[in-house]
Amino acid sequence: MDSLIKVENVSKRYGKRVGLQGVSFDIKPGEIIGILGPNGSGKTTLMKIMNTLIADYDGKIIVDGKPLGIHSKEVISFLPDEPYFEKWQKGVDVLNMFVDLYEDFDYNRCLQLLSKFDIDSRLYFRQMSKGMKEKFLLSLVMSRRAKIIMLDEPIGGVDPVARDVILDTILENYDENQTLIVSTHLISDVERIFNRVIFLKEGSVALDQEVDDIRIHQRKSIEEMFKEVYAK
């Protein structure tokens, strides 16, 4: 099967500090991949590069058969680690913006998700808690019929009870023909959803393995493997 995403020797520096160093991997259609690592390991930098939010980097990325570019936004629906709307905006304003920007946006599905999360789109964002904002944006992102869904720390700002609700929502609204990429440092909460994991350590790939291989052949959970890799 051809790769949907090819990341080839991607590196990024912030002055003297290494953000990413020689990162390479392929992602095939239909995979559910966890990009895992502690804070500062390069997860968000990688996600931003793959979504054209950082242009100054070395290496090459191919998305859906084409070099990474503005057109990649047509096939990638991205949840950033921080909401990108303004406090003075209403939820409905951003909802209508998604309708205008993305042909693959499913308006009715988004309304259903907002209802599930008990979020009133008529509220201003300044009236929403951090958790409400994250759920609102997740509803938007998961309502696109894009080939690739990328979620950067989707459960980072919510309490443990809400995490299961969010993860169940992601799985319920993920189409098996889509590719799902989730970055997080909260391993125990999310490991149940992945079929492959990529560990980033100090900006480099420390492990890239199928989840079944880890559980069956090495007889470890993803969290146990995570602790082992990062203890070295």
pLDDT at 163: 81
Measured distance CA(21)–CA(31) in Å, rounded: 24
Measured distance CA(81)–CA(153) in Å, rounded: 6
Q: Is the pLDDT of residue 65 over 70?
A: yes
Element (H, E) at 60: strand 58-63
Take residue 163 and report the two structure tokens written for it: 């995490």
pLDDT at 1: 58
Query: pLDDT above 90 covers what percent of the chain?
Result: 63
Helices (H), 79-181: 91-101, 107-116, 130-142, 160-173
Tens digits of per-residue pLDDT, 66-103?
999 989 999 999 998 877 778 888 999 999 999 999 99
Tens digits of per-residue pLDDT, 5-17?
999 999 999 998 9
Tens digits of per-residue pLDDT, 94-112?
999 999 999 999 999 999 9
Q: Is the pLDDT of residue 156 over 90?
A: no
Domains plus CATH for the chain? 5-231 (3.40.50.300)
